[in-house]
Amino acid sequence: MNLRYSEAAEAFGAELREWLAEVLPALPPKPARDDWPARRRFDTDWQRRLFDAGYAGLAWPREYGGRDSSPSEQLVFLEETTAARAPDVGVNFVGLLHAGPTLMVEGSTEQKARHLPAILRGDEVWCQGFSEPNAGSDLASLRTRAVRDGDDYVVSGQKIWCSFGQVGDYGELIVRTDPDAPKHRGISWLILPMDLPGIEVRPIETVLGSSEFSEVFLDDVRVPVANRVGAENDGWRITNVTFSFERGTAFTGELVDSRTLVDDLAPMIGDPHQRRELGKLAAELDALFALTQRNVTRAEQTGDPGPGALMMKLAYSEWRQRFGELSLRVLGRVGLDLDAPEGARLVEERLRTLALTIAAGTSQIQRNIIGERLLGLPKEPKPA
C-alpha cells in the first residue's frame, strides 16, 4: 500500500503543468451561464486545444484516438487542470464520459468511426435522452415508443432532464421497441441526430433561473435502424453500461475541484465553530479523494474499481450539499445577492448542487444499490 505516483505519472503531470501555464492565459473569458451558443464555442474550443496537444480522451484507447492513459494519469490530469483552474469538461460531458465510452463497448464499427473521433476533437456535442416525465427512478418503465418501418424506427414520446439538449448534435436515446415484453426487456438504445424533423427542444428553467436541462418532444421522428446501438430490446443492459461510467468516474473531476472551494471558503471564516465544521468537511473530502485513489488502484489492477465506486456518487453528492450549507451560513446576508463578488460562485454552486443527490440516480436509489449489490440484502417486495 503506498500513495506515491510513479515516475511516469509525475513526469506526465510536470509536462501538463507546463502546457497549462502556456495556454491558460490566452483563453477567452468564460461565457455567461445562459449563453448556450457561446458556451458551446468555449467548451468545444477547449476540447480542440486538448486534442491538438494530445490530452484529449486520456481514458480512451489509442485505436479511437485516445491516449490510453492509466487511471493514475487520468487522476493526475484532473488534479493538475483543477489546480490550474483550467476549464472543465462542460458541454462535452455526455460525449466524453457517457455516450463515447458506451459506443466503445457496445457500438458498431461504423458508429465508432463516425462519432468517436468527432467527440474527441470537440466537433460533436451530445445530449442525454433517458428520463421521462413518468420514468424517473423507475427508468425502465419508459414509454417513448419506436415502431419499426422499413429501415427506420418511427419514434414518438417525450424525454425530460436532457443535459445539453439545446446544444446537442446527437442524443443518447432509449426507447420502447417491444411494448409486450417485461419492462426491462423491450428497450433499445438509439443514436438520435438532433436535427431530424419532428424534434422539439424546450429548455427547463431550473432553480438557478437558467436552463441546464431541456425537455425533448419527439413526434413521428424517423431514426435509421442503423443508429441502434447493440441488439434490439437489449437497450436496458446497455443503459446500465452507460450508468457504470456515469456513477463510477464522472464525479471525480467535481470532487477534485471541491478542494478549491474549500480553500476559497476558508479565508472567509473567523468563527471558530464554523472553522471546526470546515475542518471536518475538509477531512471528509480528503477521505473521498483517498477512496478515489483506492478505486483507481483497483481499476488498474483488476479492471474493476470495486465497492468504493458504487459509494462515491452517494458520499460525494451528500458531502457537497453539507459544504454548500456551511458556505451559505458563512456568507450570511451577503449570500442573498447572487452577484456579490465575495460569494457568487459559492451561492451558485449551492443552488446547482441541489441536483446532485437527484441526478444520475437519487441518493435513495444509490442506497438500494449498495444494500442489494454490495451487502446482498433482499429486494423490497413488490406491493400486492
Partner 1 sequence: MNFDLSPDQEALRDGIRSLCEGRFPSKRVRDGFDRSVWRELGDAGVLALRADGFGRADAAVVFEELGRAVVPGPVVWGYLAHGLVDGVVSGVDRTTGRPGPVFVEHRDVIDALVVLDDDGVRALAASDLDEGAAVERALDPLTPLHRVELPDAGDRLGGPELAAAWRREGAALTAAFLVGLAAGCTELSVAYAHERRQFDRPIGSFQAVKHILADMAVRTEVARAAVHAAACTLDDPGVGDAARAVAGAKLLAGEAAVDNGRAATQVHGGMGFTWEVDVHLYLKRAWALGTVFGTSGDHADAVAATLPSFVH
Cβ atoms of 161 and 210 within 8 Å: the answer is no
Nearer of residues 154 and 340 to partner 1, judged by Cβ: 340
Secondary structure (3-state) at 224: strand
Binding of partner 1 by 325 (CB under 8 A): no
Local structure of residue 153 (DSSP, 8 states): E
# of chain residues touching partner 1 (CB under 8 A): 56
Going by C-beta distance under 8 Å and a sequence separation of 6 or more, which residues neighbour residue 239? 130, 139, 174, 187, 189
Task: Tell me which of 143, 145, 298, 352 binds partner 1, using CB under 8 A.
Answer: 298
Applying CB under 8 A, among 86, 192, 288, 360 the residue interacting with partner 1 is: 288
Angle, alpha carbons 31-35-41 (nearest 5°): 65
**Residue at 344: amino acid letter:** A
267 binds partner 1 (CB under 8 A): yes
Region near partner 1 per CB under 8 A, out of 164-172, 241-249, 285-293, 347-355: 285-293
* Options 246, 277, 318, 342, the catalytic residue: 246
The values of phi and psi at residue 293, to 5°, are: -60, -35
Cβ neighbour number for residue 163 with a 10 Å cutoff = 20
CB of 60 to partner 1, least distance (A): 21
- By CB under 8 A, the residues from 69 to 108 that bind partner 1 are 72
Establish if 260 lies at the interface with partner 1 (CB under 8 A): no
Our finding on whether 384 is near partner 1 (CB under 8 A) is no
**Is 246 noted as a catalytic residue in this protein?**
yes
State which of residues 154, 262, 328, 358 lies at the interface with partner 1 (CB under 8 A): 262
End-to-end Cα distance, the chain:
50
Single out the residue of 275, 180, 271, 284 nearest to residue 233, CA to CA.
180
Site membership for partner 1, residue 287 (CB under 8 A): yes
Q: Does position 317 bind partner 1 by CB under 8 A?
A: no
Query: Measured at the alpha carbon of residue 120, what is the angle toward residues 117 and 125, in degrees to the nearest 5?
Result: 100
**Residue closer to partner 1 (CB basis): 169 or 277:** 277
C-alpha cell belonging to residue 32:
455567461
The per-residue DSSP string of 120-148 comes to HHT---EEEE--BTTBSSSGGG---EEEE
Stretch that binds partner 1, among 154-162, 171-179, 341-349, 376-384 (CB under 8 A): 376-384
Catalytic residues: 246
The footprint of partner 1 (CB under 8 A) covers 1-6, 9, 72, 262-263, 266-270, 272, 275-280, 282-284, 286-288, 290-291, 293-294, 296-298, 301, 307-308, 311, 314-315, 364, 366-368, 370-372, 374-381
